[in-house]
Amino acid sequence: MARRMRARAAAGALAAAVAALWAGGAAAAAAPVIENARMLAPHHVLVQLGQPVADLSPGNFRVTEALAPDVAMEVTEVTVRPDGKLWLTLAQTVSPQNHYRLEIHRPRAVREVKPAAWALLLSVVLSASLINNFVFTRYLGLCVFFGVSKRQDTSIGMGITFTVVMVASAMLSWAIYTYVLSPLDLRFLQVLVFIGIVAFLVQLVDTVLKKLNRLLHQKFGIYLMLITTNCIILAVPLLNASANAGPWEALALAVGSGAGFAIALFLMSCAREKAELARVPKSFEGLPIAFALTGLFALAFMGFAGLNPFR
Amino acid sequence: MSTAAVPRPPAPGAGRLLLNGIFAENPVFRLALSLCPAVAVTTTVMNGLILGVAVLVVQVLSSVSVALVRRSIHPRVRIPVYTIIIAVWVSCIDMVLAAFFPALYAQVGLYVKLIVAFAIIISRLELFASKQPLVPTFFDGLGMGLGFLFALVVIGAFRELLGGGAIAGHALLPHKPLLFFILPAGGFFSIALLMAFFNLVERRLSGGAARRPGGGGGAHG
């Protein structure tokens, strides 16, 4: 712990030096009043000051949600921690994933408090792959899921192929939606355009793979054609479009959903290989028992609902 | 694959085509196609009904469109052409639903757009509409659509009754409902039970004849 803090202090000093050089060595560039601030669940703000603040009464501080800058949240207590940082206690609960605004009245200072970009992206990936797994909690891609999960090796092949095509098509769809459809007010064409992109990409990958690597094509070619009928590949661009996602969020959602589908497929294939050997009531043989197995997985995945990378 | 018994010319009568879609080749329970919406929107009967109607309309319209232009589609590009035809009709239905049923659309909107990727529609185009004249194609599309609608309503009623103690909003069961059936996992279990039930009925009716259980059609994508 101590070593990490020392390392962090060194890094901070380095950053300060770089910043000083950046400012052309002008000493006039004074340090900001609020150097850093972080929301901590359930109701705290940790503030690192760049300049001393004389008035440490709760009335000197104002915390609001970035989306509702007029509604101040009540600050109940301000304490100074041994390391010099301020520890604000709020009356209501806050989440580190959301965007807040911290203001100090004297000396006047404002700072946006939001999670680091990588943390947000990580949470999108985790959420799409585990917490809101597309197969087990959003019920998408079931046709391919039940068709391909009979054997382990086919499930792995499908998982890899699907994730690759998913990422490519989501990014292409995002670019076309953001730079072509939105400016031209053609959003109602999104279904047509997105499915066209998927069909085009599948054909492209198939042709290129056939020319470049016959062995790989023999192995993954059959899965490529199935991808067009997988709802997930269409759902991700649609979700990105309706959420007005940025490029990195779109990428994170694509990677997360692809990985989530691959995980689901692999788990299911393991269970189904066992179920093949089990004695199942006659009416349940085949798909009904596969559905029951999926139900069990879905129950297990509900446990991920408590997973929070920001704690 | 096991989408057997696809009638070649001379096409069977309208009544048989309709029944074929609803029972013998029910898209959800027998062919196991287009399962995503079957679990996703069937938490209530109304949701199942609206998506079922949307699929019915898209299926009939795109079947008829393909039957009309089937001679001028080059076989090598037929799948992309089918996809585009379906996407056009889905966009239309999507906008109609969004305009006239905004409250229901808010719940099932994503799945309405995803009708494009439903295997049932494209497989009917490939197996039936591309080979048959207009009239039988119309009835085949209607039968498949009705079969899908029927399946969604049955699953929706089952889940709403057990999970919410009501059907279409009318409270029926006095006791505390089993919330489990509204949850994702419950949807999967409901389908497993209903599918097994259909298999049982079919086996009883056919005198235990050895037909592959579960429709076995999973590999259709």
Peptide linkage before A107 cis (omega within 30 of 0): yes
Residue A88 makes CB contacts below 8 A (sequence gap 6+) with A44, A45, A46, A47, A58, A61, A63, A75, A77, A78
Stronger pLDDT, A309 or B45, i.e. the higher one:
B45
**Lowest mean pLDDT: which of A191-205, A287-301, B95-109, B169-183?**
B169-183
Tokens of A37: 């601030």
Dmax over Cα atoms in chain B, in whole Å?
A: 60
Are A188 and A259 found together in one domain? yes
Q: How close B112 comes to chain A (CA, Å)?
A: 10
Does residue A281 form part of some domain?
yes
Q: Give per-residue pLDDT as tens, B112-156.
A: 888 887 777 888 888 887 777 888 888 888 888 888 888 888 888
Residues of chain A with pLDDT under 70: 1-30, 308-311
Are A44 and A62 found together in one domain? yes
Mutate which of A148, A239, A294, A296 to disrupt the B interface (most B C-beta within 10 Å)?
A: A294
CB contact under 8 A, A282 and B192: no
Q: Which residues of B touch A287 (CB under 8 A)?
A: 32, 195, 214-216, 218
| pLDDT confidence of residue A172 | 92
Are A151 and A293 found together in one domain? yes
Q: Give per-residue pLDDT as tens, A181-220.
A: 888 888 888 888 888 888 888 888 888 888 887 877 777 7
Tokens of B4: 């057997």
Range of the domain at A210: 118-304
Q: Give the dihedral sign, CA B94/B99/B100/B105.
A: positive
| pLDDT confidence of residue A310 | 60
> For residues A201 and A254, what is the distance between their CA atoms, to the nearest angstrom?
15
Are A161 and A229 found together in one domain? yes
Average pLDDT over residues B43-70: 86
| pLDDT confidence of residue B214 | 43
Tokens of A224: 């490529």
Are A186 and A276 found together in one domain? yes
| pLDDT confidence of residue A61 | 85
Are A219 and A285 found together in one domain? yes
| pLDDT confidence of residue B135 | 82
Does residue A300 form part of some domain?
yes
Amino acid code (one letter) for B28: V
Q: Token pair 């101040």 is at which residue?
A: A72
Which residue among B34, B91, B214 sits closest to A286, beta carbon to beta carbon? Answer: B214
What is the dihedral angle through the alpha carbons of B186, B191, B197, B201, rounded to the nearest 10 degrees?
160
> pTM value?
0.74
Q: Which residues of A touch B197 (CB under 8 A)?
A: 283
CB contact under 8 A, B192 and A281: no
CB contact under 8 A, B185 and A295: yes
> For residues A181 and A256, what is the distance between their CA atoms, to the nearest angstrom?
25
Where does residue A14 rank: exposed (0-12), middle (13-18), buried (19+ CB within 10 A)? Answer: exposed
CB contact under 8 A, A291 and B117: no
Q: Which residues of B touch A284 (CB under 8 A)?
A: 192, 196, 199
| pLDDT confidence of residue A170 | 92
> For residues A231 and A157, what is the distance between their CA atoms, to the nearest angstrom?
18
Does residue A3 form part of some domain?
no
Tokens of B221: 């994508």
Does residue A144 form part of some domain?
yes
**pLDDT surpassing 80 at residue B48:** yes
Other CB atoms within a 10 A radius of the CB of residue A74 amount to 11
Looking up residue A72, the CATH number of its domain turns out to be 2.60.40.1220
Does residue A14 form part of some domain?
no
> For residues B106 and B10, what is the distance between their CA atoms, to the nearest angstrom?
44
User: Chain-centre distance of CA B34, in angstroms?
Assistant: 6
| pLDDT confidence of residue A176 | 92
Q: How close B139 comes to chain A (CA, Å)?
A: 24
Q: Which residues of A touch B54 (CB under 8 A)?
A: none
**Lowest mean pLDDT: which of A169-183, B19-33, B54-68, B97-111?**
B19-33
Are A148 and A188 found together in one domain? yes
Are A129 and A272 found together in one domain? yes
Q: Strand locations in B10-146, DSSP E?
A: none
**How is chain B split into domains, by residue range?**
15-22+33-205
How many pairs of residues across A and B have Cβ atoms under 8 Å apart? Answer: 157
CB contact under 8 A, B117 and A299: no
> For residues A295 and B136, what is the distance between their CA atoms, to the nearest angstrom?
39
Are A236 and A274 found together in one domain? yes
Are A189 and A178 found together in one domain? yes
Domain boundary among A115, A144, A163: A115
Average pLDDT over residues B187-191: 86
The number of helices, as runs of H, and strands, as runs of E, in chain B is 8, 2
The string of DSSP letters for A143-165 reads HHHHHHTTSHHHHHHHHHHHHHH
For residue A287, give the nearest of B151, B29, B170, B91 by alpha carbon.
B29
Average pLDDT over residues B72-94: 85
Q: Which residues of B touch A199 (CB under 8 A)?
A: 79-80, 83
Tokens of A235: 């759902």
Does residue A123 form part of some domain?
yes
- The DSSP symbol for B6 reads P
Q: Which residues of B touch A150 (CB under 8 A)?
A: 218
Report yes or no: A264 and A146 within 8 Å, Cβ to Cβ. no
Does residue A311 form part of some domain?
no
Average pLDDT over residues B173-195: 80
Which residue among A136, A192, A283 sits closest to B200, beta carbon to beta carbon? Answer: A283
> For residues A302 and A220, what is the distance between their CA atoms, to the nearest angstrom?
32
> For residues A146 and A294, what is the distance between their CA atoms, to the nearest angstrom?
9
| pLDDT confidence of residue A175 | 92
Q: Which residues of A touch B213 (CB under 8 A)?
A: 282-283, 285-286, 288
Mutate which of A142, A234, A242 to disrupt the B interface (most B C-beta within 10 Å)?
A: A142
Residue of B nearest to A299 (CA): B185
Q: How close B13 comes to chain A (CA, Å)?
A: 30
Other CB atoms within a 10 A radius of the CB of residue B100 amount to 9
Tokens of A7: 């390392």
**Domain count within chain A:** 2
Domain boundary among A69, A86, A115: A115
Tokens of B44: 């209530």
| pLDDT confidence of residue B21 | 72
> For residues A206 and B180, what is the distance between their CA atoms, to the nearest angstrom?
43
Domain boundary among A79, A96, A115: A115
Q: Which residues of A touch B210 (CB under 8 A)?
A: none
Query: Nearest 5 degrees, angle CA B64-CA B8-CA B215?
Result: 85
Q: How close B117 comes to chain A (CA, Å)?
A: 5
